[in-house]
Structure 1
């Protein structure tokens, strides 16, 4: 995203309410425009979103829409801001579930699960939230909550940011796998069923895989990718916190 375009996005996301500089006022708000775009993206994916399509949903011409939003990049930025869950609500859930304020581990756990819920509700967010771009207040609020959970843990600012990047990457990986499987949450179970068919009769060639699949069939434990990865990440962060704080 070019600097000029990034500046336009920042003004839309953080500046005062936009009113058209010319032409008749149609009473549109940026929220209405964003919601219309979100509805199209939820139905047809991010590639299905166009200025013309959003204008049609709102009952205005494309030129009228341009008086509010300069182009698709700015439109998508508004859509991301509208589609992400409210980080304040997620934080309230974390506090309620983990006691008064909650510990850093409990809060980051809820943070990650709530973020996954957002990607599940709007899978196109995976495409819209990549690369160097301007972030809106809600998305910055998510970053703030995660970093606030790590205050007092003895981590440097860079380490705390890396923890957030690591957690976000894990959540995005799970969400991406689910989307690739048509939105089904049972991705590991589906893959396991395929592997069972492939390995059947070939146990001598793939003994470790055959043993793992046999254990799953006997004891279960599949489709725990989110929780298993999340707990292992937090275990590692916990070791670093202990090293930094001596507790």
Structure 2
């Protein structure tokens, strides 16, 4: 006998995202709504990270019993799907037809800022984001920007993957630095200042000649580049791909 439960679970999971049940207009009015439950889940994740998220804690945040919560959402997995989609609804995505470089900057900046507001999203498997309306809206916008720029389909997917990975990596680094600074009370500059003894006592220029040359040439003077500056360097590389595609097809890429 075939076990149909996985398929049923998937169908239920998708239906909750695309056709959530509407509040009943009959009988006594419900004290909670599905958006209330999702907002509570986000609040719990903000307070303690995704590892702290449980149906029991969300129910406690709402002041109801856990069994009441299960009448709105089947479980933690489905709740996280809904939380991610609610967060992605905050994105202001680029409009069709905008110059690709400006549009891709908007796309990346919006995602970067979203992850800083909701760092718990970065604790999920970003390769398996839910097939949710606002998540797909964001993906559609990114693909559209690069497609309108004139890149072939395969390169569109490669480049948006590179953009997404870069944005997530920079956001993770920023979140980790914020958390470290908050927990220790030490800024990034103060931390490296506290390690200044290392360079005179332990660092060996003969072992690290390239690092030494770069240092002496002032390569480290600017410190860590901002997200905006780093992303502009990435866009320079994307522009080369757009120009190459335009040359191959005899068109002019919209910058």
**TM tier relative to shorter chain:** 0.7 to 0.9
8 Å CA contact retained: 1:45, 1:124: yes
1:212 aligns to what? 214
Counterpart CA distance in 2 for 1:192 and 1:209 is 16
Counterpart CA distance in 2 for 1:223 and 1:14 is 42
2:246 aligns to what? 245
| Cα 1:154/1:70, change in 2 over 3 Å | same
CA deviation after TM superposition for structure 1 residue 111, in Å: 1.3
Counterpart CA distance in 2 for 1:222 and 1:4 is 52
CA deviation after TM superposition for structure 1 residue 169, in Å: 0.4
- Mapping 1:66-81, distance limit 5 Å: 66-81=70-85
2:47 aligns to what? 43
| Cα 1:161/1:5, change in 2 over 3 Å | farther
Task: Report how many residues are paired.
Answer: 234
CA deviation after TM superposition for structure 1 residue 209, in Å: 1.5
Question: Which of these residues, 113, 117, 130, is aligned with residue 126 of structure 2?
Answer: 130
Q: Does 1:140 align with 2:136?
A: yes
SS at match of 1:117: helix
8 Å CA contact retained: 2:100, 2:148: no
Counterpart CA distance in 2 for 1:26 and 1:130 is 34
Q: Once superposed, what is the RMSD of the aligned Cα atoms?
A: 3.0
2:198 aligns to what? 198
CA deviation after TM superposition for structure 1 residue 198, in Å: 3.2
SS at match of 1:151: helix
TM (norm. structure 2) is 0.78
1:230 aligns to what? 231
| Cα 1:59/1:177, change in 2 over 3 Å | same
8 Å CA contact retained: 1:188, 1:222: no
Q: Does 1:158 align with 2:154?
A: yes
1:109 aligns to what? 105
Which segment is superposed worse, 38-47 or 134-143?
134-143
TM (norm. structure 1) is 0.80
| Cα 1:18/1:206, change in 2 over 3 Å | same
SS at match of 1:154: coil
CA deviation after TM superposition for structure 1 residue 189, in Å: 5.5
| Cα 1:209/1:242, change in 2 over 3 Å | same
1:170 aligns to what? 166
Unaligned segments of structure 2, at least 5 residues: 1-5
Unaligned segments of structure 1, at least 5 residues: 96-100
SS at match of 1:125: helix
2:66 aligns to what? 62
Q: Deviations over 1:26-85 (max 9, x none)?
A: 342221111000011001000111111111122221111111100000011111112235
| Cα 1:86/1:63, change in 2 over 3 Å | same
CA deviation after TM superposition for structure 1 residue 150, in Å: 1.8
Counterpart CA distance in 1 for 2:243 and 2:188 is 33
CA deviation after TM superposition for structure 1 residue 223, in Å: 2.0
